[in-house]
Structure 1
């Protein structure tokens, strides 16, 4: 059994999950993890760390085959702009290395937003807190455990 802060947080919350290790490829993203696990990339959820114009950090959970409209997210949150957080800033806040960021068990609690259509899926695959490890969970866990707020900010690349 693997141990990461994310897995410890899931166990502590009583969440049923399955671990899915795969061969990690640098810059491969959700395309590689979906291919390695034989699942639809739409069911793989990426965790993005973004920063608003006041330098406050947020997490956005998005389908692997979609992108986040940062303009739409900024408008929704009532801020001037949103940008991807720098890797070092994201790592210090979450405790996770780029490519292994999980929304569970982050070093600092961060406001979390989930693309609404993710919640319609029967099962999702999300990072388990290290490169090359996804966990599958019922998407309702994202709202129940993370208090993720459903949003509609996804765009097709």
Structure 2
């Protein structure tokens, strides 16, 4: 597969920053983590979810992009809140995610994000390779997590996410 199925802003950012990656095509209805992993043979600890978080009750709101493994839960109430220096934060809704990133939920990725902080949980870097969105719901990228460090605005954070209980990992 070539980079042409990626969102153009994602393909451009990967090329501009020399991020080594592979591109996978996926069916849009299988883009969400659990469905993708089950259908395409990846495990949840190989899936790097990219999530937009927004401050609450702050005008203008503060945003951050967070990258965590599929086996973990983003610690919005403590870690992200502290990083954004706000009293309250929550997952951004789909409409806000598109407005802030230009990407669809199920395809959001760190590449191509500009002007927002990008926090990557330290556990992501421990994986030999991860699969993450391609900016749309019809593509994914596979890369060594250290490649994310080539992107501007990336900061590695210890404890950004906490382990999920096994029963929660398919949520």
Residue 98 of structure 1 is matched in structure 2 by 105
Q: Which runs of 5+ in 2 are unaligned?
A: none
Deviation at 1:75, TM superposition (A): 3.2
RMSD: 1.8
Report the CA distance shift for 1:138/1:39 in structure 2 as closer, same or farther (over 3 A).
Answer: same
Report the CA distance shift for 1:38/1:146 in structure 2 as closer, same or farther (over 3 A).
Answer: farther
Is residue 2:70 matched to residue 1:64?
A: yes
Report the CA distance shift for 1:92/1:56 in structure 2 as closer, same or farther (over 3 A).
Answer: same
With structure 2 as the length reference, what TM-score do the two structures score?
Answer: 0.81
**Structure 2 residue aligned with 1:51, among 54, 66, 85?**
54
1:76, 1:20 → 2: CA distance? 32
Deviation at 1:87, TM superposition (A): 1.9
**Structure 2 residue aligned with 1:40, among 39, 43, 63?**
43
Report the CA distance shift for 1:56/1:66 in structure 2 as closer, same or farther (over 3 A).
Answer: same
With structure 1 as the length reference, what TM-score do the two structures score?
Answer: 0.88
Q: Which runs of 5+ in 1 are unaligned?
A: none
Pairs aligned (count): 155
Deviation at 1:76, TM superposition (A): 4.6
Deviation at 1:6, TM superposition (A): 0.7
Deviation at 1:60, TM superposition (A): 0.5
